[in-house]
Amino acid sequence: MRVDLIQYTPDPEKVVAAAARLCYSADPVPELLDRLEDETVARFVRKLRDMGHLSPFEHVSFQFSIDGVSRVLSHQLVRHRIASYSQRSQRYVKENGFEYVVPPSIQRSPEAMERFAKVMTNLQEEYRALQAMVPAEDARFVLPNACTTSLMATFNARSLLNFFEHRTCMRAQWEIRTLAEKMLELVRGAAPNLFSEAGPTCVTQGVCHQGAYSCGRLKTLEGKKT
């Protein structure tokens, strides 16, 4: 898996602070931006976050390139609807000799790994054979969820906070959790105050909403505080 933050709104924290200040000021945005100093911006952004006043966060966006992930992951990712996506097409891009993602549980078992690799090889062969019989857009129906793909995804900061809350949770599926952790590391480098408290609610709020499905991490965190 490779994840890159390819671009984002310049001075994202200042933009968020100016958007919030605008609600209570008669001054135009350029003047508000000029008067905002770094320390003031950081303090204001943290205050907005702590108050849950997150609509100003929607004015800044972050664009990622994501490569070498499975279709299992991409199907989960697009469930986060307040975002924009572009994905490599299996209709127009042939997947001959496709690469695939192997789950860790399969990698740990030699027998499972042998079976998995055999299935992938068979599917590659059948995919190539079918292309000689039917259009490639129909041959792709035999491609597996493990087949790798590439995407471009653009989120605003508020949507990212929601994404990180759900997908860095230990209950999230392992591959998309890995993606979320990589994305969080990248945006924290670009906008540390916007994302300093991003993550699962057990860490950020001291509460778990998983009920009977909780992984138990919250109790561990509470134990560390005592």
Whether residue 25 is annotated as binding a ligand: the answer is no
Whether residue 221 is annotated as binding a ligand: the answer is no
Whether residue 46 is annotated as binding a ligand: the answer is no
Whether residue 150 is annotated as binding a ligand: the answer is no
Contacts of 40 by beta carbon, 8 Å cutoff, 6+ apart: 17
Whether residue 156 is annotated as binding a ligand: the answer is yes
184 vs 198: CA distance, rounded Å: 8
Whether residue 96 is annotated as binding a ligand: the answer is no
- Burial bucket for residue 201 (CB in 10 Å: 0-12, 13-18, 19+): middle
Whether residue 76 is annotated as binding a ligand: the answer is yes
Which of 42, 43, 27, 102 lies closest to 72, judged by CA?
A: 102
Whether residue 191 is annotated as binding a ligand: the answer is no
Whether residue 210 is annotated as binding a ligand: the answer is no
> Contact at 8 Å (CB) between 15 and 9?
yes
57 vs 159: CA distance, rounded Å: 9
Could you give the residue numbers annotated as active site?
Answer: 167
Residue 106's H or E segment, with its range, is helix 104-107
Q: Can you say which residues are annotated as belonging to the binding site for dUMP? A: 76-79, 87-91, 140, 167
Residues making up the annotated binding site for FAD are 55, 79-81, 87, 156-158, 162
Binding-site residues sit at: 55, 76-81, 87-91, 140, 156-158, 162, 167
